[in-house]
């Protein structure tokens, strides 16, 4: 069992985003690859153990100070292995202060058969700040022809503005997950799931952009996606029978959306393609 921690803070000095603080312990590391000048300050989150087992606990915190532009990208897919009883727990805290731009872009989480994961993401988005954040889950090693049928997954989100809870949501599957994934009232046979939120003062004004982009990207018959808005929170969701196809659609949307709403390059980080 491990208890890893990674906490990073950015501030703005002379109009440039800089690293203000970094505290980390195994198996988590945040590295800072070189990126193009037209990209936000970027950190790559690495899990050096290669995966998580029952009883492991990770704490991740990202704070973008006022007027900063920052992005945290997952170095690789996170793997949650089989466990006899204990849960893997992951606590993520995101804080975009006044006027900040923050992207939280982990790669997909792959759940092995009989794995147990509880993850909670709590975000605070200040006045004039903008945050794009997401998660993707693959139910089993689908590239190996495997599919998760038993275990636990709880993926909960809480988003606050000015200290007030404005949106909360949780995916909870327990026990006979296979039946829940197959049910027409559930995932209808989907093997993968992804969710993206955009939190900002102008979220409702960006809903049309999100829907136009989904239409422009197009989806395979095995993938479904939709966008909606709840106050200052725009939500986009995908489910699909093929993890790779869903990942490609998710990445294409992320790249296009950040370009249309913030003017950043319409491309995903290099790590996304490795």
Q: What is the 3-state secondary structure (H, E, C) of the chain?
A: CCEEEEEEEEEEECCEEEEEEEEEECCEEEECCCCCCCCCEEEEEEECCCCECCCCEEEEEEEECCCCEEEEEECCCEEECCCCCCCEEEEEEEEECCCCEEEEECCCEEECCCCEEEEEEEEEECCCCEEEEEEEEEECCHHHCCCCCEEEEEEEEEEEECCEEEEEEEEEEEEEHHHHHHCCCCCCCCCEEEEEEEECCCHHHHHHHHHHHHHHHCCCCCEEEEEEEECCEEEEEEEECCHHHHHHHHHHHHHHHHHHHHCCCCCCCHHHHC
Residue 116 is part of which domain span? 3-273
pLDDT of residue 48: 93
What is the count of structural domains for the chain?
Answer: 1
pLDDT values of the chain reduced to their tens digit, one per residue, 274 residues: 788 999 999 999 999 999 999 999 999 999 999 999 999 999 999 999 889 999 999 999 999 999 999 999 999 999 999 988 799 999 999 999 999 999 999 999 999 999 999 999 999 999 999 999 999 999 998 767 778 999 999 999 999 998 999 999 999 999 899 999 999 988 999 999 999 999 999 999 999 999 999 999 887 778 899 999 999 999 999 999 988 899 999 999 999 999 999 999 999 999 898 7
pLDDT of residue 273: 84
pLDDT of residue 146: 79
pLDDT of residue 225: 95
pTM given for the model: 0.95
């Amino acid at each position: 069992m491990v208890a890893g921690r990674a906490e990073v803070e950015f501030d703005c000095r002379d109009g440039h985003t800089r690293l203000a603080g970094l505290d980390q312990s195994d198996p988590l590391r945040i590295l800072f690859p070189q990126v193009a000048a037209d990209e936000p300050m970027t950190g790559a989150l690495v899990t050096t153990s290669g995966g998580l087992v029952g009883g492991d606990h990770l704490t991740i915190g990202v704070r973008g100070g006022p007027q900063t532009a920052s992005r945290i990208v997952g170095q690789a897919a996170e793997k949650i292995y089989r466990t006899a009883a204990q849960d893997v727990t992951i606590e993520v805290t995101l804080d975009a202060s006044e006027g900040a731009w923050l992207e939280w872009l982990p790669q997909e989480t792959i759940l092995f058969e009989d794995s147990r994961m509880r993850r909670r993401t709590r975000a605070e988005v200040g006045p004039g700040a903008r945050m794009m954040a997401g998660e993707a889950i693959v139910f089993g090693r689908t590239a190996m022809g495997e599919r998760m049928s038993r275990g636990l997954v709880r993926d909960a989100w809480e988003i606050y503005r000015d200290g007030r809870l404005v949106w909360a949501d949780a995916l909870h599957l327990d026990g006979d997950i296979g039946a829940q994934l197959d049910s027409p009232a559930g995932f209808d046979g989907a093997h993968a799931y992804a969710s993206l939120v955009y939190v900002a003062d102008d979220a409702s004004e960006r809903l049309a952009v999100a829907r136009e982009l989904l239409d422009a990207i197009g989806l395979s018959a095995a993938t479904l996606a939709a966008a909606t808005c709840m106050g200052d929170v725009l939500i986009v969701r995908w489910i699909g029978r093929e993890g790779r196809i869903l990942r490609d659609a998710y990445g294409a949307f992320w790249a296009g959306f950040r370009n249309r709403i913030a003017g950043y390059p319409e491309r995903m980080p290099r790590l996304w393609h490795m």
